[in-house]
Chain A
Amino acid sequence: MIAEFISKYGLIALLIAFPAYYGVQDLINDGNLTRIGNNLVDGLSNGAIWALVALGYTLVYGIIELINFAHGEIFMLGAFVSFALWGELGLHPDTATVSLILGLLVSLIVAMLVSGSLNVMIERVGYRPLRGAPKLAPLITAVGFSFILQNVGILWLGASQRAVPDLIHSQRELFSVFGLSVSRGDLLAVAVTIPLVLLLTSFVAQSRLGKAMRATAQDPEAAKLMGINVDTTISLTFLLGGLLAGAAGLINTLYQTSVWYFQGFTAGLIAFTAAVMGGIGNLRGAVLGGLIIGCIQQVSDNRIGNEWTPAVIFAYLVLIMVFRPQGLIGEETREAG
């Protein structure tokens, strides 16, 4: 009885408890909820970016049950590509609005394509030859690729954090409601994420290729018998994940105004936590998980100190794995069972 209750609502209670604790503290100290509210607004926009990365994890896991460890680095390289392109295109904070938007659109498309094709290539070289080997084998290759790509990042832009010109003045306040300020960066993150997520979900739900993806995820062998080209479908999945990661990389660069070779590792683990939290393999779950983890991250950054944030997120990851491996809205998986 109690165990059942804990496994059903424990995770939700735990997720609410963390911001709620600081909310109560704010009420006592300031008499209002402005500070925690602003944390949550920032958290949601940050979480929108994590949602895009988490979708890549969940898509790939859903179809070949592999934690694509290198996915965070795909995101990082998306950020690097956009940073490099802005330099090439000569974009700077004072560029006229029209050319700025055009330049950003071009770099968005390029970053998405680079990340997407890189992800497909990794699948082709590293995971496809191992599709039949014990599950640990492709996971180890994925870890290897993650390190290779990190070091590509080091060779490209060096080992230290690089500041990026604040092209969109991301911290400038757009409007504020009840003391909650919404900045340009917040709006951008949400404005890019929502259409991409809608596009993806409708693609997976309605298009022929999306149907093939779902069929392959359910039973690869039967899908093959039905005339679905499983290899192409898997490549397509990696392409979609990579495209989203590239877009996330660009938004993140606009939002955080810095790039770093190590950002992919942290982002990857945060996004993976998000995917697991939502129930891995579940697209809506990944988005939900991303938003929640964004809020947790922001609250932890702001209240405990950002040197502790990774530890907080990992602690949540362990708790989810232990008490609710199927996630908030996922079903029992073979992993969890």
Chain B
Amino acid sequence: MSTLRELRTREWTKYLLPAVVLLAAVLFPLFRPPLDGFMDDCILALAYVVMALGLNLVVGFAGLLDLGYVAFYALGAMAVGWWASDFYTGVGGAEEGIHIGVSGFAATLPGIHVNFLLIVIGATIVCAVAGAIIGLPTLRLRGDYIAIVTLAFGEIIGRIFQNGDEITLFGDYKLSNGRQSIAPVDAIDIPFLDPFDSALNLRPYYWTAFAMVLVVLFVNIRLRDSKLGRAWIALREDEVAAASMGVPLVKTKLLAYATGGAFGGISGAFLGAYFSSVNANQFQFGFSIFILAMVILGGLGSIWGVVLGAVALAFVNNRLIPDVLDQGFVGDKLKDLGLDFSFTEISFGIFGFILVIMMVLRPEGILPERRRQMELKEGIGESEAVFEARV
């Protein structure tokens, strides 16, 4: 009897800490003013967590280095630009527009206006398909060639949207607004709730992002422990062995790209709606590296590590670099030391530095996944096997 009770207490205490953290995270906005710089950082951090978890599926689980993840951010954000703004003013009659599931102010505007939840579903589908398409040409390739092909796709998609004002579809509808941003984008409008307004109250955005993270985390953990997740990890560790054990390579790889892309799309759509504008100039290679640095910092393949890495780098990017290193006491001290330059300008250099330092000193990341740690450690320092692992 006592053992059973012990067991029950242990079960109970196991959930105590996560429950407290969860509750604190959900309730914390109530103790902050509705328009809060710190909450803004948290919202961005949560959106980046979703992206980093998506990239982690591809790079961390399946071992396919994707350097073009920005493509999914671009597609997700563009989905919002296309379907929730007055960008396509002429659609559905001059003053009418198309409205699906939107209420309030947005319902009176011309252009296409679709409910945010439907857009998220749309962005997920678009990005999953795009992910599979990007994955197709890499199927025959291995290792670093995959990285270059995905990088090329990311750049192509970015370029297409940056010059999209030169492309017209169906008569005279432009593909994008080129170097100008598409703005304003409709506020997020969830059924039974008032439309959000990022100029008045950030709390609803925070809770939406938090819910998004919870869903994505749940999916990630379930996927990792599923048959598919184990197939991804097998693929990462030894493709030939995995194939001979009956893992269907094509399907498994494409599913990794598609799922990872879908998460990027969700987050991209959220960010587009949160910024209330979609700017194609953001679709740069640097963004892919920003997200990759989160995954590497936290630990390739480690879900909690990636969450930590994403939150950490989001705060480094949005708080530490602009507000601490460039201004205030620390900034003045650095300037006295002769470091008289803008850290914001060289933020990508800092992320590059993180990549190098992590890879050389601690390639398994801050919170490593155990299996990955063993993989990365083997070979290094064993003189006989120096060139073995290259093959």
State the A residues within 8 Å of B (CB): 64-67, 125-126, 129-141, 143-148, 150-152, 154-155, 159, 220-221, 265, 269, 272, 276, 305, 307-308, 310-311, 314-315, 317-318, 321-322, 325, 334-336
Instruction: Evaluate whether A67 and B388 lie within 8 angstroms (CB atoms) in the complex, with A133-B376, A148-B356, A315-B156 already known.
Output: no
Nearest A residue to B372 via CB reads: A134
Q: Is the CB of B163 within 8 A of A308?
A: yes
Nearest B residue to A308 via CB reads: B163
Q: Is the CB of B147 within 8 A of A67?
A: yes
Interface residues of B in 315-335 (CB under 8 A from A): none
Interface residues of B in 56-85 (CB under 8 A from A): 59, 63, 65, 67
Q: Is the CB of A147 within 8 A of B387?
A: no
Judge if B289 is at the interface, Cβ distance under 8 Å. Answer: yes
* C-alpha spacing A137/B351, complex, angstroms: 16
Q: Which 4 A-B pairs have the closest CB atoms?
A: A151-B349, A147-B352, A144-B355, A144-B356
Determine which of B140, B356, B391 lies in contact with A126 in the assembled complex, contact meaning CB atoms within 8 Å: B356
* C-alpha spacing A137/B363, complex, angstroms: 7
Judge if B371 is at the interface, Cβ distance under 8 Å. Answer: no
* C-alpha spacing A131/B390, complex, angstroms: 8
A-B pairs with beta carbons under 8 Å apart, 14 shown: A130-B380, A133-B363, A134-B389, A136-B59, A137-B363, A139-B65, A141-B356, A148-B353, A151-B345, A269-B151, A269-B155, A314-B153, A314-B156, A325-B140
Total cross-chain contacts (CB, 8 A) = 169
Q: Is the CB of B65 within 8 A of A144?
A: no
Nearest A residue to B138 via CB reads: A321
Interface residues of B in 151-207 (CB under 8 A from A): 151-153, 155-156, 159-160, 162-163, 166
Instruction: Evaluate whether A144 and B341 lie within 8 angstroms (CB atoms) in the complex, with A220-B387, A321-B149 already known.
Output: no
- Point out the residues of chain A lying under 8 angstroms from B391, CB to CB: 334
Q: Is the CB of B141 within 8 A of A147?
A: no
- Point out the residues of chain A lying under 8 angstroms from B387, CB to CB: 131-132, 220-221
- Point out the residues of chain B lying under 8 angstroms from A311, CB to CB: 155-156, 159-160, 163
* C-alpha spacing A159/B354, complex, angstroms: 21
* C-alpha spacing A322/B140, complex, angstroms: 8
Q: Is the CB of A147 within 8 A of B351?
A: yes
Q: Is the CB of B141 within 8 A of A134?
A: no
Q: Is the CB of B147 within 8 A of A314?
A: no
Q: Is the CB of A144 within 8 A of B144?
A: no
* C-alpha spacing A220/B384, complex, angstroms: 12
* C-alpha spacing A43/B353, complex, angstroms: 36
Q: Is the CB of A137 within 8 A of B376?
A: yes
Nearest A residue to B348 via CB reads: A147
Determine which of A307, A325, A336 lies in contact with B163 in the assembled complex, contact meaning CB atoms within 8 Å: A307
Q: Is the CB of A143 within 8 A of B145?
A: no
- Point out the residues of chain B lying under 8 angstroms from A132, CB to CB: 379-382, 385-390
Q: Is the CB of B141 within 8 A of A325?
A: yes
- Point out the residues of chain B lying under 8 angstroms from A336, CB to CB: 140-141, 145
Instruction: Evaluate whether A151 and B63 lie within 8 angstroms (CB atoms) in the complex, with A318-B137, A321-B149 already known.
Output: no
* C-alpha spacing A32/B301, complex, angstroms: 59
Determine which of A136, A141, A152 lies in contact with B349 in the assembled complex, contact meaning CB atoms within 8 Å: A152
Question: Smallest distance from the beta carbon of A271 to chain B beta carbons, Å?
Answer: 12
Determine which of A134, A150, A315, A321 lies in contact with B375 in the assembled complex, contact meaning CB atoms within 8 Å: A134
Nearest A residue to B142 via CB reads: A335
Q: Is the CB of A155 within 8 A of B155?
A: no
Instruction: Evaluate whether A67 and B148 lie within 8 angstroms (CB atoms) in the complex, with A137-B359, A151-B346, A154-B345 already known.
Output: yes
